Amino acid sequence: MKPIEIDKVQDKLEHFKNKQIYIHLETTNGAYASHFNQDKYNVGAYIRNAKASYHQAKIVGDGKSFRVGLKMEIGWIYAEGLTDWEMLDSKLLMAGHDREGRLMVSLQISETPFSY
């Protein structure tokens, strides 16, 4: 993946507007967080191939780390901490990595289901 270019990603977000899409949304600090440091908590969530549709989308950020909000008819999809992006087989992949390259958050949008 490469560092997020805000204009290009905004273009891609527009592309998926008002379409039936599949979402992969995930955040994690790993299964070992509290094993290596007892003061930490294991926290994570993911949803893969949630069907959704949005009519408004925006990416906002300070040039390094970005937030994406997708406005749906009756709710929102939101991700914070995104740093990198890539188009892969017409799928928009966005993710946030820590200094050691570990994935912390990801938001992916596709018109076809993600492999499961």
Partner 1 sequence: MEKHVVVIYPHPDDESFGAAGTVAKFRSEGVPVTYLCGTLGEMGRNMGNPTFANRETLPEIRKQELMDACNILDMELEMLGYRDKTIEFEDRRQVAHHIKTYLDKINPSLVITHYPGFAVHPDHNAYGAAAIEAVSLIEPENRPTVWAQAFSNDTLEKLGTPDIKNDIEKYFDKKIKAILAHASQAIGVISQYRNADNIQSDLNELAKQNLGIERFYVWKY
List of residues 6+ apart from 5 with CB closer than 8 A: 85
Residue given tokens 């992949």 in the structure block: 93
Determine if 8 is a binding residue for partner 1 (CB under 8 A): no
9, HSE (Cβ side, Cα atoms, 13 Å): 29
Determine if 97 is a binding residue for partner 1 (CB under 8 A): yes
**Could you give the CA distance from residue 5 to residue 18 in angstroms, rounded to a whole number?**
23
Among the candidate windows 15-23, 31-39, 58-66, 69-77, which touches partner 1 by CB under 8 A?
Answer: 31-39
Determine if 49 is a binding residue for partner 1 (CB under 8 A): no
Determine if 79 is a binding residue for partner 1 (CB under 8 A): no
Determine if 82 is a binding residue for partner 1 (CB under 8 A): no
Beta carbon of residue 26, minimum distance to partner 1 (angstroms, whole number)? 7
